Amino acid sequence: MLKQTLLISTLMAAGLLSAPAYAEGTFTGFYAGAEAGAVRSDSKSTVTPVTGAAASRTNKKTSADLGLFGGYGYQFDNGVYLGGEVSVNRPTTQSKAVTLAGVSVRERAQYEIAGKGIAGFGVGEDTLVYVSAGITQSRSKFLLPNNVTRKSNSDGKVFGIGVAQAFGDNLIGRVEYEKTTYDRKTFTTTGAPTVSYKPGSSRLTVGVAYKF
């Protein structure tokens, strides 16, 4: 998944670099930056005992979030913008364990990496409104029965919307909202309850980038 994420973003950037030569807009070029904001995790945990009914609960946790991002975009003379971006984010606080069917469960995200395609339209010369979509992977620690902890990756999809503002030729500020959903992870231990997790998150960030 990680290799696919990097490959998709690289191919998108290469395709944009080979695009026909129109008049370049304000947001054309390579860029790299950092962002900070808040992320709300929505991890649904389900415990299925060896005998008896399953129990589920969605654990919601809001925490500060830090990230790095970089990519390439091309803005045509008609204002249309197309780009590709790779980002890495990490929450600064972690969820607490909850008890379901007598079993303590917890999903602690360590980081998220994503590769996204971006499409937008310029509003005036210095403002860009855009949407993004792509694939993402999260590395997490999962708490299992008998107090066992296991690290595992979760693959998912990410969708976003944002506004970017250029300040001069090289500095760009942006505000962005992203919604991420992940595939279900199921852990089975002989003689112990089956535990499954369905991670998800919503992120609102403010970022600053330097355009090369």
pLDDT along the chain (212 residues), means of 10: 48 45 74 95 83 81 92 94 96 73 77 95 93 93 78 91 95 97 85 84 96 94
CA 159 to CA 22: how far, in whole Å? 29
Structurally, the chain folds into a number of domains equal to 1
Q: By residue range, what is the domain housing residue 196? A: 2-211
Q: Which amino acid is at 176?
A: E
Q: Which amino acid is at 123?
A: V
CA 65 to CA 38: how far, in whole Å? 5
Instruction: Name the DSSP class of 49.
Output: -
Dihedral sign, CA of 208, 211, 201, 152?
Answer: negative
Instruction: Name the DSSP class of 53.
Output: -
Dihedral sign, CA of 153, 157, 162, 166?
Answer: positive
Please check whether residue 199 is in contact with residue 138, taking contact to mean a CB–CB distance below 8 angstroms: yes
Residue 130: in which H helix or E strand, if any?
strand 127-144
CATH of the domain at 143: 2.40.160.20
pTM above 0.85, yes or no: no
Residue 175: in which H helix or E strand, if any?
strand 171-182
Residue 163: in which H helix or E strand, if any?
strand 148-167
